Structure 1
């Protein structure tokens, strides 16, 4: 069984149909040093030395719920197949992942993936002018080298590259559409096969 299958093998009866409350990842200001949230962040290594100011990607900041009707789910299925994920892993990932939590600061951007599984929220971290390391999108062992390619008032662009088994590259553009929804357009290349995956999100009320 693959690592992703082991991570996502949760009895369906234990899943919540309601989105899980967001963490303190996207507080609009730094928590006090005495607060529980601050201590938790310090333990997780998520606090910078000095709490940074927001970046120009403020419009992306917050929690976003996936709009399944507006998203291109067929392209997502094709992308998972291209990454050699099993049917079980693909179905589990689509069922579990419900949205995004984006936190943007001067020192970079954190993208958390909201799930229906309690206490399970993968987080990717990107920094300007600096390469970071995150988990591979296919959840196989080994790191993905990541860059924050571009930020601006209208959104941002990130890049993830991984080697080893089934090497690949993903370049994603996060933009706010005229209707206020978030569009994430990903360009995936795995073993010479190129795909475009477009997902749409609406802001949680």
Structure 2
């Protein structure tokens, strides 16, 4: 393997990590509060606002229903407005973030809904306010599920980041398409696939480890 190819793979890997890290961060900032609200705002719940819940749920579902590659093309004007361009690593973060927010929101909602309702009733009986219940009961109890949900989101964004290469984004997907496919260099394509597999395995392993560490119900080894 030539030094030039190694350098291209390293640069493309860094670009992919950059895109995924920033879009995950922004997606979590937007998706976490939306997910908490969706989980707590149906009729009779802590933040009862059924009408807003229904409208927000429709928006989230509509965004999630659009195939990612179509979403990338459809929001090109918005991407240009935000990033100043529609191609490149920074521009790719815009559609990745928009795809991540509703995805993370639904994962967070599902994790919170799995919390035992008895804990909520006990906190209510003790006089806790809705926001106190959310901050001190729901989120801590749902943290393992939220962690696994964010892990799944990162894995999905790694796959999405490879798709962005087909429409002017950079990173491993772009390298695989331009060199592995268009220039008939199967060794490049193979290396891109291997790196993507390694990244996914690392993210999944780290995410599962963190989920076990934050799970108060799981027994832990004293020597761990």
Q: TM-score range by the shorter chain?
A: under 0.3
TM-score, L = length of structure 1: 0.28
TM-score (norm 2): 0.26
Higher relative contact order (CA 8 A, sep 6+): 2
More strand by share: 1
Larger Rg: 2
